Amino acid sequence: MTHPLRLGWKASAEQFGPRQLLELGVEAEQLGFDSVWVSDHYQPWRHTDGHAPFSMAWMAALGERTQRVEIGTSVLTPTFRYHPAVVAQAFATLGSLYPGRIALGVGTGESMNEVPVIGIEWPDQRERFRRLSEAVKLIQKLWSEEFVEWEGEFYQVRGATVYDRPEQPVPIYIGASGPAAAKLAGRLAEGFICTSGKGQELYRDVLLPALREGAEAAGRDYDVIDRMIEVKVSFDTDRARALADTRIWAALALPAEDKVDVHNPREMEERAKKVKDPERRWLVSDDPDEHVEQIRPYLELGFNHLVFHAPGDDQSRFLGLYASQILPRLRAQ
């Protein structure tokens, strides 16, 4: 089975309050987007005008206001402030309420969302990866068995049962920026998530081959895995406006080592002010045909689920422009 092309919208919970973000999610469905993926942050990337609504409550609200669109997290961390057994219960409930429309996207996490909340010392990448692997396996077990007993390296469960579960389990997507997590997605998950703007070699030579390797090692069909990428786009009829909008998300252009141990949105905001070229992480254009050509390489790599993250504050403007000028061109390809 090869997945059909799907085109989604990234609901930036760091940028908008819950009510405004909800109305935008409804608008995205009305304009023809196939999915809506919300970030799960306790703290945003910037303190000034920052937001961080609770993703799971917001997903339920969007589910009630929509009929068709798929709703997922990109991404939630089921290892520190959320125990994986609680995540299993929450998403089973969401899946029961909105069958076939809920997805659980997970990742290893960021210190700014975990350290200030539970006061831990932020572990290294290896431990975070082991925690994620165990959490995914535990969630899957809780969705398929009763009175689950689990004695893991990080988590213990004693006879737990998730009583309300959808007939078809909620698909799990694993976010990956390196080969180990991509292999894990291939072994365990229904979907894979990565983000654009990091060089074609990373996707072509590292992530997608690792995803395939993980799937084949587990005896799974690579083509059944939904290959999703968050594509960072700044498209507007006014090119100067499209360029200026990227400044809001300047933190994304910081090197990974400048972000990994930052726990305070004010500090992240100050570091982002020093970024001279925030647009380098974005596909910036004011021409629809040029913009489709900017996106084309990701389709040619084999990504079938593109979720568009736009930086501007006027998301209604973006949704309207994209729905009328870009989505039809991509589907016509």
| Cβ count within 10 A of residue 66 | 19
Among 110, 114, 269, 279, the one annotated catalytic: 110
Q: What are phi and psi of 80, to 5 degrees?
A: -120, -85
**β-bridge mates for residue 191, sequence order:** 173, 226
Alpha-carbon distance of 117 to 214, in angstroms, equals: 33
Enter the DSSP assignment of 226: E
Q: Is 41 a catalytic residue?
A: yes
Alpha-carbon distance of 131 to 153, in angstroms, equals: 8
Residue 91 · residue 97 · CB < 8 Å: no
Amino acid residing at 34: D
**β-bridge mates for residue 230, sequence order:** 195, 307
Q: Is 110 a catalytic residue?
A: yes
Among 41, 291, 305, 309, the one annotated catalytic: 41
Type and span of the H or E element at 118: helix 111-118
- Annotated catalytic residues are 41, 110
